Every structure is written in structure tokens, then in C-alpha cells.
Amino acid sequence: MTPIVFVLLQFLVLALAASSPPSGSITIGASGTGAKYTSLAAALKDTSSNVYFIYSGSYTGQAVISRANVVVYGQSNSSASYSSNTVTLTDNIPASSAGSNAGSATLRVTATGVKLYNLNIRNTYGKPVDQSQAVALSVDAGTFACYACQIRGTQDTLLANVGTQFYGKCLIEGSVDFIFGMQASIWITGSTINTIGSGYITASGRSSADANYYVIDQSTIQGSGTVYLGRPWRNYARVVFQKSSIGSNVPAAGWSQWSSSSPNTDHILFGEFNNTGAGAWKSGRASFATQLSSAISITTVLSSTSWIDSGWF
């Protein structure tokens, strides 16, 4: 079998699985769909299978995936595109009410080997007066893969906190520190980073010289407001944008310090390589930003790629 045929078959299998329930899967859906459960949270208590299929619809409420190797499919006729997603998981709980960032998440992942396909994951709390964080997706363990999902919020949308994480062909949306975390290595590729107000895309909390990176690769940065590529939550923040289209919503400085009283720029790497667009590297870039001479490889960030589906990077 040629490599091209193999990749096409991989996509065909994925498409079939996303449009109807895989054999033996646990189903979630509204009345009339024939599904066994009406919410993902209830379905996850059923451990008779590791595979879950959600029929088209909007589902309100939080869910926690705490079991390893769980796979969740959202019904879709185009598994390789987030724009065709028909399943939305939504809630509107802020961290100020939940007691923690992770506790506010609409969907929380605390186990390794989890894969998500074609889900819209939203925290609709919005932009409050007190600027409380409100997480859509929180990931805290092992290997994690997210394929053609929409992850949408305002402040602190995606908590990529622990483990090695892959996001392929996703939409990630927010305004303030909306890709953030402490001890994860994440690779975002072929995705759309959409800003809905002024702020900062990334807030890396890397606090030591460990192996972790945030890399945004071959993606599109677009949207409204004046938005910096990142600011350092901790003093060893390491974030790279490479081979991406960066829109005019990113100012000439490109990057920001954390604050005037705590700049956190002593040991950071805020890198860029071979980007295009009105917001790409130009005169006036922040003095603590670095123009790289070569791209960062996916294996540098994630070590192994054997757990990532073929054709997604």
C-alpha cells in the first residue's frame, strides 16, 4: 500500500466514525436519537467501552474525563474540518465561582491517552467586570490529542497544563491569555487562532529550564482587537510561532511583558520563524523576542508522534 493510499484510508475511516456511532460505542444524544445517555457526564460513568459518540446537538453542563484512553467523537459529515461540527458542549462557570481555573472548565481531561474529534467546547461566561477566568477545555495529564475541534471562550479558554498535547485543524478563540498553562508541551498545527478582543494569545507558565514548549505551527492568527502573541506568566516561558499567517491584529511589538512590576522576561524564549502577514516580524519587535533561524520540529516538542493520527501534521 502506498503512503498516499494509507493516508486516504485513515481519513475515510475517521470520516465514517464521525458520521455514525462506531461499533460498540457508548452513545449520547437527545430524545429520539436512540442514544443511551443524554449527557457526556452521565455517559462517562459507563465504562463498558472507551469510545463515546455524541449525536448532533448542544449539551449544557460540565464533564470530566478521568479514565485513560477515552475517545470522544462528535457527529460530523466532515471529520477534517471544525467548521462542519454539529456537537457543542457548553457551560458558563467562571473560576471565581468554581474555585480554580480547571474547576471552571466545561470539559476537563485528567487522564492520559484521551482523543477528541469534532467537538465544539465552549465556556460562554464572557468578559465580566472582574475579568474572571472561565476555561472551556482543561488538560492535565499524559498524551492528549484534539482533532478538528472548536475551543471557545474569552479569558483563559484553553488550559494546557500538564502532559504532551496535540491540536490539529482546530479553532481556538478568546482574548486574554487564552492558551495558557504550567507544565505542558503543546503543538498546535493547521489551526485558526481567533481573537475576539484586545489581550494576549499565550501565557506560558513554564517556571524552569525543562523540555516544554508551546509551538503554533502553520496556523492562522486573525480577529479583532490589539492582541499580542504572548506574555510570560512565569520567567521561563517558551513559545514559538512558525510558518503561520499573522494578522494585523498583532502590533509591531508582537509580544508583551507580564506587567511593568513583574516583566518575567529574564529567561524566556519568544520565538518566530518564517511567518507571513501584516503582524509578522517587523521593525519594533519587543527586545526580548527572537527571530529563529530554523523551525522547531514536532518531535522536539512532543518527543514521539506515534500516538497522533496519520495525516494530521
CB 213 within 8 A of CB 188: no
List of residues 6+ apart from 104 with CB closer than 8 A:
93, 94, 95, 97, 98, 123, 125, 133, 134, 135
Q: Which residue has the cell 503582524?
A: 279
Among 289, 286, 307, residue whose Cα is nearest residue 298:
307
Q: Are the beta carbons of 202 and 233 closer than 8 angstroms?
A: no
Strand, helix or coil for residue 122: strand
Distance CA 78, CA 11 (A): 10
Instruction: Tell me if 154 sits within 8 A of 173, measured CB to CB.
Output: no
- Active-site annotation holder among 91, 140, 177, 309: 177
75-114 in b/e form (b: 16+ CB < 10 A) is bbeebbebeebbbbbbbebbbeebeebbbbbbbbbbbbbb
Q: Is 217 a catalytic residue?
A: no
With vertex at residue 261, the alpha carbon angle to CA 257 and CA 264, rounded to the nearest 5 degrees, is 40
Distance CA 149, CA 200 (A): 21
Closest CA to 166 of 14, 312, 11, 18: 312
Catalytic residue numbers? 177
